[in-house]
Each structure stands twice: as C-alpha cells, then as structure tokens.
Amino acid sequence: MKMKILAFGIIADITGKSEWTIENIQHTDELKKHLENLFPRLKNMKYAIAVNLLITNGNFELTDGTTVALMPPFSGG
Amino acid sequence: MKMKILAFGIIADITGKSEWTIENIQHTDELKKHLENLFPRLKNMKYAIAVNLLITNGNFELTDGTTVALMPPFSGG
Amino acid sequence: MSEKKIKKVFIEGAISPSCIADSIAKHSTKKDIGAHSIFLGQVRNDVINDKEVKAIEYTAYNEMAEEKFHEIRETAFEKYSLTCMHIYHSLGRVNSGEISLFVFTSSKHRKDAMEVCSYIVNRIKEEAPVWGKEIFEDESYIWKQNTP
Amino acid sequence: MSEKKIKKVFIEGAISPSCIADSIAKHSTKKDIGAHSIFLGQVRNDVINDKEVKAIEYTAYNEMAEEKFHEIRETAFEKYSLTCMHIYHSLGRVNSGEISLFVFTSSKHRKDAMEVCSYIVNRIKEEAPVWGKEIFEDESYIWKQNTP
C-alpha cells in the first residue's frame, strides 16, 4: 500500500521536500503522528489535509494509490 | 428681477428650449404654476427643481439673478 | 463657486478599454495599494417596443454634476479607508457595447475597495444630474429610466 | 477527474494592464451586458521586521485549485444573474505594484455584477489552495498570511 504525499508552503520548507511516497499508514491521524515525529515543528503548525483533492474533516482512512496533500493556511490573491 | 431657467432631459423636449430668462416670479411654486400653464404636459411629470445648484424641498423663494434648473429623474451611468 | 479643486469627470463619447488600462498601469507606483475595485457601465441594446437601442446620448447639468461628483468623492474618502479614486462619465453619444461609466477605487485591503466602489456607483446613479437618451436604429428615442 | 471543461485560471507572472484591457474590449460584442465589476489584487510593499516586501512568489496545488475555481464558477452562475465571468491568478514571482489576481464579472444590472465579484474574491481568498511567499530585498522571505 503506497500513498503519495504532497507538501505546500511552509510545510514543504519544514519537511524539506514537496513530494514523496509513504507506505503502510492506515489513516490520516496516523500519518500526522508519523510526520510530527519526523518533523517536530509540524506539531505547532495549523494545516489541512486533503485526500484525493478533498479536504478531510477528522480522521480519514487511507487506501492504496491515494494522494495526500499537507496544506498550511491559504494566502492567494 | 430676472432669473435664468435651465431645462434638462424630457423637460427640455416639452418646453422646446433648454435655457431662457423669466421675470417677476416670487417663488418656486409660482414658477411651477406658470410653467404648467404654458406647457400642460409638465403637470403629469415628476421633476426636481434646483436653485443655484441646490435641490429644493417644498416652496423656495426666488431672488434676482438666481439660476433655476428643471430636472426630470436622473438616468446617468 | 468655492475654490476647491474639482477633478474632471466628464469625457466626450465612450470610455475606451485602453484608457482603463492606462489608469490601472499608473497605480503600479503606489505600492501600498493591495486591492483595486472597478465598475464599468456598458450601454445595453435593450429592445423597447420592438426597437433596438443603438446608442445612448448623455447630457448633464455639468456645473451641478461636477459639484456632486466632488461631494461624493469627499464623502467616500471620509467614510472609507481609501488610497485612490477616479470617476469618469461619458457625455454625448455612446454606442451599445461601449462603456459610459468608469469608477475605480483603490485601498490597502479588498473590503474597503469593493464597498466604496459600490457606494460611489449607487450615489452616481441616484444623485448625479445626468440624463440618457436611448436612441433607436431609426434615430427615434426615448429618455432612459434607471432601475433602482 | 470528471469531464467537465475547466477554464485556465493560472498565468505565469504578473497580470498586465493590457491583458485586462483586452478582456474588457472583448465584451463589447455582448450587448446585453450593462455592468462589469472588476477586482484586482496588487502586491503591496509591506514592511515586516524593518524589511520591505519586493515581490510575492505564488505556488499552488494546481489540480485542486483548478477544481476549486471551477466549483466557485459554477456556484456563482447558480446564485447570481451573471452573463460572464473570468478569473486569472498569477503563479511564480510578482513584484510589488504588479497585479496577481483579476476577477471580472458581467451582468445586465450593476447589483448582480458587484455582489458576485465580491463573493468570488472572498471565496478565492478563503478556499483556493494558493500560497504566497513574501520576498524581501535580501531574498529572505516569510510565508504570507491573508487578512480575513
């Protein structure tokens, strides 16, 4: 089970990369814990998680081939 | 005692002129009566009267040298 | 007349897109501006009693209108946080599809720019002594009535 | 992805005044339009910790943003009486004083055009996955935060 991770804005600065692959993570809460262990600065960050282009609310199950995006608050316009 | 009359829009169509002089009329109510006698179509018209650039409310005394404007509803823009 | 400086609002004929572009371009040196709001009034080819409007011919009580535009301008600057504002209104003939009113407001933030633009347009429609004559293909006409 | 046609929103670098003029000029053939409302976002030279912003560099989650712009577009046409709408947003570097957002709405009457323009701009600011990096003279940067 593989998923693609995309990081944007300040999150890509913290993770040092904007796109990578992870394996065997079951849901978004587990992913958050995993990432916050690797990148402790994420613990204090406000960010949304989109799964296959849709912003998630609460914990969300991940399946093979999904794309997960880590998105800090938007600042376009 | 002379006053300048200005007519705009459909009012100038009705009066057939856009600028003329009148004499010896004391206030705006008298002016309206005078004009409506000359141009009966004005009786059914909605129009505002400005004296020296200011729109009048109610009856307004006229003095020598004033400019009176007859203004149908605005339709600019 | 008082001595206050009155900005020229009326221009003869239609307002061209390139005039609008020039106005926008001039603001690139005002780097504290974050938001511009623009309103453009365009002449519609309404069909009235089976005849199509080909143009509107605008006349105004110029002296009173310039005073009114000045007053609207002053009040807008008092009521809103505003960096720049420009108003241009056509006089004379403007064909359908062409632009006869150009209101341009600029502020630090979007809310001010958009609210004040709408405020100004509404006041112009209601209070500026300007009259539009809707001219049909056969050169007959009716006097325009603004929708509230 | 569904098969719906998605209009291109993102353009590389600043939006030029002449591009805006072209957009306006194209609408002169749509003679049922009576009112255009335009919003322009311009990059400010804010001073943050004594350093002046020279440019904003925009990045986006393109695929999601295009979907979001499409959804905003569809909803705007459902909610308002609207003849035309166009949205352009910059990606990459836009210098202070230059334009990075262009929203253009057209309707028969002014109220619709102005209300829908404001609706669209607010939704873009809140919901479009776009990020601005404010770059200072020395090329250091901070990530931009939008005011609500």
Under 8 Å between Cβ of B50 and B74? no
Give D31→chain A minimum CA distance, Å.
30
- The pairing of strands C141-143 and D10-12 is unpaired
CATH of the domain at C132: 3.90.1170.40
Q: What is the pLDDT of residue C107?
A: 98
How many interface pairs between A and D have CB atoms less than 8 angstroms apart? 64
pLDDT tens track for C37-90? 999 999 999 999 999 999 999 999 999 999 999 999 999 999 999 999 999 999
* Position C3 pLDDT exceeds 70: no
C12: in domain: yes
| A8 contact residues in D (CB cutoff 8 A) | 59, 61, 129, 131
C5 pLDDT tier (thresholds 50, 70, 90): low
C103 in contact with chain B, both atoms CB, cutoff 8 A: no
C90 in contact with chain B, both atoms CB, cutoff 8 A: no
Q: What is the pLDDT of residue C7?
A: 78
Task: Enumerate long-range contacts of B13-20, CB under 8 Å, 24 or more apart.
Answer: B13/C143, B14/B39, B14/B41, B14/B42, B14/B45, B15/B39, B15/B42, B15/B70
* Position D2 pLDDT exceeds 60: no
C1 pLDDT tier (thresholds 50, 70, 90): very low
- Taking the C-alpha atoms of residue A25 and residue C136, their distance in angstroms, rounded to an integer, is 71
Residue among A69, A73, A77 whose CB faces D124 most closely: A77
How many interface pairs between B and C have CB atoms less than 8 angstroms apart? 64
Task: Enumerate long-range contacts of C139-147, CB under 8 Å, 24 or more apart.
Answer: C140/C51, C141/C57, C142/C48, C143/B9, C143/B10, C143/B13, C143/B72, C143/B75, C144/B75, C144/C56, C145/B73, C145/B75, C146/B73, C146/B74, C146/B75, C146/B76, C146/B77, C147/D109
Structure tokens at D63: 């695929």
C15 pLDDT tier (thresholds 50, 70, 90): very high
* Position B33 pLDDT exceeds 70: yes
* Position B55 pLDDT exceeds 80: yes
The per-residue pLDDT of chain A, averaged, comes to 96
Q: Which residue in chain A has the smallest CA separation from D147?
A: A75
Q: What is the pLDDT of residue D146?
A: 79
C90: in domain: yes
Is residue C5 within a helix (H) or strand (E), and if so which, with residue range?
Answer: none
Domains in chain D, number: 1
* Position C2 pLDDT exceeds 80: no
**Which whole-number Å values give the CA distances from A6 to A11, D89, D144, in the listed order?**
10, 21, 20
| Interface probe, candidates C23, C29, C36, C42, chain D, greatest D C-beta count within 10 A | C42
Q: What are phi and psi of B69, to 5 degrees?
A: -110, 135
Q: What is the pLDDT of residue D28?
A: 97
C148: in domain: no
**Which whole-number Å values give the CA distances from A71 to B1, B3, C13, C76, in the listed order?**
78, 72, 50, 39
| A50 contact residues in D (CB cutoff 8 A) | 61, 64, 129
Q: What is the pLDDT of residue D54?
A: 98
Cβ-defined contact of A69 to D89 (cutoff 8 Å): no
* Position C95 pLDDT exceeds 70: yes
Q: What are phi and psi of C102, to 5 degrees?
A: -135, 110
Stretch 13-32 of chain B: residues touching chain C, C-beta under 8 Å: 13
Cβ-defined contact of A53 to D144 (cutoff 8 Å): no
Instruction: Give every strand in the sheet of B48-51, ordered side by side.
Output: B19-23, B2-7, B67-71, B48-51, B54-55
Mean pLDDT for the stretch of residues A15-43: 96
Rounded (10°) CA dihedral D117, C97, C21, C33: -20
Under 8 Å between Cβ of C20 and D20? yes
Q: What is the pLDDT of residue A28?
A: 96
- Taking the C-alpha atoms of residue C113 and residue C104, their distance in angstroms, rounded to an integer, is 9
Domain with C107, as residue range(s), is: 2-23+32-143
Q: 3-state SS of A22-38? A: EECCCEHHHHHHHHHHH
Cβ-defined contact of D29 to C110 (cutoff 8 Å): no
Stretch 9-38 of chain C: residues touching chain D, C-beta under 8 Å: 17-18, 20-22, 24-25, 27-38
| C63 contact residues in B (CB cutoff 8 A) | 53
Q: What is the pLDDT of residue D145?
A: 83
D85 pLDDT tier (thresholds 50, 70, 90): very high
D98: in domain: yes
Chains B and A touch (3+ CB pairs under 8 A): no
Q: Which of A46-55, C101-110, D117-126, D139-148 has the lowest mean pLDDT?
A: D139-148
Q: What is the pLDDT of residue B1?
A: 86
Q: Which residue in chain B has the smallest CA separation from C67?
A: B53
pLDDT tens track for D24-70? 999 999 999 999 999 999 999 999 999 999 999 999 999 999 999 99
Cβ-defined contact of C42 to D27 (cutoff 8 Å): yes
D148: in domain: no
Q: What is the pLDDT of residue C4?
A: 54
Chains that touch D (3 or more CB pairs under 8 A): A, C
Under 8 Å between Cβ of C121 and C89? no
The per-residue pLDDT of chain B, averaged, comes to 96
Domains defined along chain B, listed by start: 2-71 (3.10.20.30)
Q: What is the pLDDT of residue A1?
A: 86
| Interface probe, candidates A49, A52, A74, chain D, greatest D C-beta count within 10 A | A74
Q: 3-state SS of chain A? A: CEEEEEECHHHHHHHCCCEEEEECCCEHHHHHHHHHHHCHHHHHCCCEEEECCEECCCCCECCCCCEEEEECCCCCC
Q: What is the pLDDT of residue C148?
A: 61
Give A19→chain D minimum CA distance, Å.
12
C42: in domain: yes
